[in-house]
């Protein structure tokens, strides 16, 4: 009788751990995030080349820095996804390269969507599903995209007003969280993840 009771208790524990909620929405969000960030990274690298070709050196640098940051976000999301035991299917980034003015507008729209809609929803889901590592990775990307959005808005204004000489000429990207700085306005430590500025990538 005791044995039956013991095994029943073990079985109940085993079943309840099997039923432990998987962060279903967060897994889908991580996949969408990896796709979005990887596509943004490839797109900005192509926009950077186009800007250079058109003689917009400072804007070319901005696209290159943002491209690196998006690569870091994609890598962080991927690590979290793999930590949950899920692999991402292969995909091909798709985007169009137009003039630099149009590319800046596309970048503003993309970052705007991520900041106003995508990451707030991902963060709500991650909190509800108690997916702490995903929440941290989403927060780093969310905070960085706000900065990218503002950098792009200023760059487009400068392009239209022919005042590109006022734009930053060099950027620093935190290799841990992707935070992106005007190299002339660095914090001693990354404001998002506290990495020391000596670790920042100069672009």
23 or 80: CB nearest Fe ion: 80
Distance CA 173, CA 158 (A): 22
What's the closest the beta carbon of residue 133 comes to Fe ion, in angstroms? 16
Please state whether 167 falls in left (phi above 0), alpha (psi between -120 and 50) or beta: beta
Is residue 106 a contact point for Fe ion (CB under 5 A)?
Answer: no
Please give the helix or strand (H or E) that residue 22 lies within, else none: none
Is residue 174 a contact point for Fe ion (CB under 5 A)?
Answer: yes
Q: Which stretch binds Fe ion (CB under 5 A): 5-13, 49-57, 119-127, 194-202?
A: 194-202
What length is written for the chain?
A: 203
- Residue from 119, 137, 148, 173 touching Fe ion (CB under 5 A): that is 148
- Residue from 74, 108, 190, 203 touching Fe ion (CB under 5 A): that is 190
Residue with tokens 């239209």: 160
20 secondary structure, DSSP code: S
Distance CA 119, CA 127 (A): 12
Is residue 177 a contact point for Fe ion (CB under 5 A)?
Answer: yes
Is residue 115 a contact point for Fe ion (CB under 5 A)?
Answer: no
Is residue 145 a contact point for Fe ion (CB under 5 A)?
Answer: yes
Q: Which stretch binds Fe ion (CB under 5 A): 12-20, 52-60, 89-97, 169-177?
A: 169-177
Is residue 133 a contact point for Fe ion (CB under 5 A)?
Answer: no
Tokens of 100: 């630099």
Which of 173, 176, 180, 182 has its CA nearest to residue 202?
Answer: 173
> Within 10 A of 123 (CB to CB), how many other CB atoms are there?
18
Is residue 37 a contact point for Fe ion (CB under 5 A)?
Answer: no
Is residue 192 a contact point for Fe ion (CB under 5 A)?
Answer: yes
Contact positions vs Fe ion (CB under 5 A): 145, 148, 174, 176-177, 179, 190, 192-193, 195
């Amino acid at each position: 009788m005791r044995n039956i009771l013991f095994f029943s208790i073990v079985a109940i524990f085993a079943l309840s751990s099997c039923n432990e909620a998987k962060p279903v929405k967060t897994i889908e969000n991580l996949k969408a995030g990896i796709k979005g960030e990887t596509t943004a990274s490839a797109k900005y690298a192509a926009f950077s080349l186009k800007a250079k070709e058109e003689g917009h050196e400072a804007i070319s640098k901005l696209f290159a820095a943002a491209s690196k940051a998006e690569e870091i976000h994609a890598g962080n999301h991927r690590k979290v996804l793999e930590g949950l035991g899920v692999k991402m299917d292969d995909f091909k980034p798709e985007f169009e390269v137009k003039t630099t003015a149009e590319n800046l507008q596309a970048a503003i729209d993309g970052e705007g969507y991520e900041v106003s809609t995508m990451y707030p929803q991902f963060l709500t889901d991650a909190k509800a599903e108690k997916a702490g590592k995903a929440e941290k990775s989403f927060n780093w990307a969310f905070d960085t995209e706000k900065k990218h959005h503002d950098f792009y808005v200023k760059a487009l204004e400068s392009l239209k007003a022919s005042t590109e000489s006022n734009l930053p000429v060099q950027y620093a990207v935190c290799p841990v969280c992707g935070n992106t700085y005007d190299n002339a306005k660095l914090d001693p430590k990354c404001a998002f993840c506290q990495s020391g500025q000596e670790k920042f990538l100069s672009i």
